[in-house]
Amino acid sequence: MKKLPPGLCHILAQTKLYTDGQEYVIVNIPLEQRYEGAALFAKLATAFSAVVIDKDQLTLVLAADVWDEVKGSVEAVQEAPGYRLITFDLPLELGLVGYLATLAQVLAEAGVSIFATSAYQRDHLLVMQSDFDRAWRALSEFIATCRGQMEVSS
């Protein structure tokens, strides 16, 4: 990985990783059912969940056990189960450049596919359960390297 700008390295060094240990499912619902899907989501949203509506589809991210309870109430075109959550647990400014791209590159180099989503101040990744330990280790090592660089430059 190329040398990072000092400001970005400083933010990365402050990053704490968080996971909740739950399994998640990513669900694709036809756009025609966006109202039903959004209403369902509003009732079910848990500590981590996400909804994205674009011009072609509604995508829900829910805890697998929650989805299992209600999946018969809407027509899912596709379900992708078996994901785990990694949250970068620190408040981020919306104008921050390169943060998520840098962490995504770390995981790409480790051969880990990601599903990325962001809240107003935090970024989140979903990775396959089979890749979770490798992803966590790669991110932890990278963050530790950033911390080491900050200590050397102090």
80-108 mean pLDDT:
95
Which domains does the chain carry? 6-153 (3.30.2130.10)
Mean pLDDT in residue range 96-121:
96
What global pTM score does this model have? 0.91
Q: Mean pLDDT over residues 99-120, rounded?
A: 97
Handedness of CA 38, 84, 22, 12 (dihedral sign): negative
The answer, yes or no, to whether residue 118 has pLDDT greater than 70, is yes
Name residues whose C-beta falls within 8 Å of residue 69's C-beta, 6 or more positions apart in sequence.
none
pLDDT for 44 equals 75
* pLDDT exceeds cutoff 80 at 43: no
Q: What is the pLDDT of residue 2?
A: 67
Q: State the average pLDDT over residues 123-144.
A: 98
Question: In this predicted structure, what is the pLDDT of residue 74?
Answer: 84
User: HEC profile for 53-113?
Assistant: ECCCEEEEEEEHHHHHHHHHHCCCCEEEEEEEEEEECCCCCCCCCCHHHHHHHHHHHCCCC
44 vs 135, which has greater pLDDT?
135
Decide if pLDDT at 76 tops 80.
Answer: no
What is the structure's pLDDT at 7? 86
CA atoms within 13 A on the CB side of 123: 21
Residue 4 has pLDDT above 70, yes or no: yes
Half-sphere exposure of 1 (CA within 13 A, CB side): 20
Name the band, by pLDDT with cuts 50, 70 and 90, for residue 10: very high
